[in-house]
A and B are shown apart, each in its own frame.
Chain A
Amino acid sequence: MYELDLTILFAGVVAGAAPIVLAALGETITEKAGIINLSLDGTILLSAMAAFVVAFETDNILLGFVVAAGVGAMVAAIVAFFSIYLNQSQVAVGFVLTLMTRDMAYFLGNSYSRIQGPQVTPLPLGFLKNIPLVGPVFFNQNIPVYFSLVMILFCWWYMYRTPLGLQLRSVGEHPRASYARGINPKKLQMFYAICGGLLVGLAGATFSLSVKPGWGRPQGAEGTGWIALAIVIFGGWHPLKAAMGAYLFAFLQVMGIYCQQWVPSVPAQVFQVAPFPLMIFTLLVMSLAQKESVLSWAEDKAGMKSILAFFSGTIPTSLGKPYRPD
């Protein structure tokens, strides 16, 4: 009865993961530059609401995406400004904004709840969609999904293959050294926090205009921001690994629905918890992998060594500690 059609399954995973990929990439950029934006969960909801309302009122989906990106950028700018220029804890400000933007989204979007609105139409890509297996999975989607795919490669290329990307990573690792090289860490951190915020805003719009169309309380995007934060860590602050994490999570989510058919007594929400123990486990392995004793213990165990190597991502050294001139 529940025939598992693999192409449909994977196409669903790629489409459903699009907003998570965007949010995780945005947060990866932000954290690589040394700023931790904890407000993701609320930001996604607020931008989702803004996108839906704007698209509904103007009947212009593109404008919805633009406004959502603006909302995301604004929230990120507040976090970065409080931390870089006002010397406040990023975690504290981000946390307050998480709660506040979520409530603002519910409050302002109240009169647009549960109404039919515009949504993104699919746009199969001509000849590409006819490639067997890969075609229907990747090229029979809509523009936000294509955008998320392109962004994965772009982020990786920008961070690791361009001089600007080197600057981005340097302010997250050692802002003092980059200052000595003539870079203004404050400006750069502010800039990349806003860039990350733009992507997070687009993630919100992708929810309300494509993946879970419409607005309401709850919208269905709740918790995604926290998951994206977990995925950034799981991905070891690397855009490609983070994207992989997002797809893995979307896959788990879809499998959760199938699992529920096999074990009906367990609600789907229980399976959605999966990324969080994984996040804790990743962090634990990551920090253990830096300990001498653990390394020597894993020396003669081939399996252990590769596990440690997989989780060997290192946290940006100055994450959460903005640059202070003497």
Chain B
Amino acid sequence: MGQIEMGRFFRYLIEGMLTLLAVFFFTTIILLASGAPPFAAYYHIFKGSLGSWSKLAHVIKVWIPLTLCASGLLYTFRIGLWNIGVEGQIMLGAVFTTAVLRLGAAESMPMLFLGLSFIAGIAGGAIWAIISGYLKTKGGVHEIFAGLGLNFVGQGIILWLIFGPWRRPGVASMSGTELFSQKLWISFIPVLRFSPVGLALALTALVSTALILRYTHMGLNLKAVGNNQDAAYLLGLKPDRYMITAMIFAGGFAGLAGSVQVTGVYHRLLPAISSNYGYLALLVVMLANYNVWITPAVAFFFACLNVGSIQLPMMLKIDSSLSGVIQGSLVLATLAVFSWRTHKKRFQEQLRHV
């Protein structure tokens, strides 16, 4: 038995290495095509993300919302829903958070209102998720189109708020609403400028997700509905209800990510508040093969790529979107390798039947 385990482990290892190698070749070709020195680019990404403590702190600042969203997405993927609306759920979380912090009394009781703003953020994200959940279960609208549509509506709401009711005194601009007073920032470590509160929230989200999915009835039922809706229904589970539950978790965590971005990173509402972290989190979970414990590692790697590539325009005069190319090709290559493996297995089974 042990030997088989070892054999499988080595096969995964080799497949993983091959995937990385393929991606490495692909990005190197892309880099050469754009006329940039490939190794210098890789070096700057590495140095820009892990080169110093402050860089690492920046990576963690990106890791927090990614992990929060990815944790939420684990629920929806488990039940077989493609919650592409996670991006809009971050935005609505951020909007609700900002709404609470803008209340007149907020500055006199900062701790209370910060706490309330986090709850509001969770509620905001959850409401947006529930809408696409009900559109799916009651209205028969596929969650991808509902979610996508709501993402753009969310973006519209933010723009309208920034240029309308919440515009800065004087001139309204894409740079967002007025900065909150320092009392309403969640506490952070001064030198590194990153907040342990956000980190604690992300870790809690991750661990609780792992426990809920692994050890509770709900986790099992989500999986049952995801694997076979009709069978689950015959067992007495209500698929619709579990879908809504999964969406609430996903939206709640995404909304919380929005709260952290507002209170801990930007201290205001701005159009790009979600920074595409929702979409990126979808890639993270896919690359982690929907595994709870691989997710934070992949999220960390993606955060490194994102932060490290910020250096590229300055150092090498190339665009920072290189990180997106690497991330996308990684997921694609993994999907290809994965399907090749299952393909081979199916082929072997067919041979055995002959």
Interface residues in chain A, defined as those with a beta carbon under 8 Å from any beta carbon in chain B: 38, 78, 82, 86-88, 91-93, 95-97, 99-104, 106-108, 110-111, 217, 223, 226, 229-230, 233, 265-267, 269-270, 272-273, 276-277, 279-280, 283-284, 287-288, 290
B30 in complex: contacting residue of A82, A107, A272, A273, CB < 8 Å: A107
A108 proximity list for chain B (CB < 8 A): 30, 33-34
What are some 28 contacts across the A-B interface (CB < 8 A)? A86-B335, A88-B335, A92-B286, A93-B332, A93-B335, A97-B328, A99-B276, A103-B323, A103-B325, A104-B324, A106-B319, A107-B319, A108-B30, A110-B319, A229-B148, A230-B148, A233-B145, A265-B163, A265-B167, A266-B163, A270-B160, A276-B150, A276-B153, A280-B149, A283-B135, A283-B142, A284-B140, A290-B140
What's the least CB distance linking A292 to chain B, in Å?
13
B152 in complex: contacting residue of A106, A217, A273, CB < 8 Å: A273
| Bound form: Cα–Cα A111–B318 in Å | 8
B167 proximity list for chain A (CB < 8 A): 265
- Say yes or no: A267 contacts B328, CB within 8 Å: no
B339 at the interface (CB under 8 A from A): yes
| Bound form: Cα–Cα A288–B153 in Å | 22
- Say yes or no: A86 contacts B135, CB within 8 Å: no
| Bound form: Cα–Cα A288–B135 in Å | 11
B280 proximity list for chain A (CB < 8 A): 99
B13 at the interface (CB under 8 A from A): no
A230 in complex: contacting residue of B149, B276, B335, CB < 8 Å: B149
Residues of B276-331 contacting chain A, CB below 8 A: 276, 279-280, 282-283, 286, 317-319, 321-325, 327-329, 331
| Bound form: Cα–Cα A277–B155 in Å | 12
- Say yes or no: B335 contacts A92, CB within 8 Å: yes
| Bound form: Cα–Cα A277–B151 in Å | 10
| Bound form: Cα–Cα A265–B254 in Å | 29
Smallest CB gap from B33: residue in A: A108
What's the least CB distance linking A233 to chain B, in Å?
7
- Say yes or no: A284 contacts B141, CB within 8 Å: yes
Interface residues in chain B, defined as those with a beta carbon under 8 Å from any beta carbon in chain A: 30, 33-35, 82, 84, 135, 139-142, 144-146, 148-150, 152-153, 155-156, 159-160, 163-164, 167, 172, 276, 279-280, 282-283, 286, 317-319, 321-325, 327-329, 331-332, 335-336, 339-340, 342-343
What's the least CB distance linking A224 to chain B, in Å?
12
B141 in complex: contacting residue of A102, A270, A280, CB < 8 Å: A280
Q: How many pairs, one residue from A and one from B, have CB atoms within 8 Å of each other in the complex?
A: 145
Known: A107-B322, A217-B319. A99 touches B145 (CB 8 A): no
A266 in complex: contacting residue of B149, B160, B323, B336, CB < 8 Å: B160
B282 proximity list for chain A (CB < 8 A): 95
* A-B interface, 10 closest residue pairs, ranked by CB to CB distance from nearest: A100-B328, A103-B324, A287-B140, A273-B156, A103-B321, A276-B149, A86-B339, A106-B321, A110-B319, A276-B152
B340 proximity list for chain A (CB < 8 A): 86
| Bound form: Cα–Cα A107–B145 in Å | 28
Additional pairs, 18, CB under 8 Å, beyond known A82-B339, A230-B148, A265-B164:
A87-B342, A91-B82, A93-B332, A93-B335, A96-B332, A100-B324, A102-B324, A104-B321, A111-B317, A226-B148, A229-B145, A230-B149, A270-B160, A273-B153, A276-B149, A283-B141, A283-B145, A287-B139
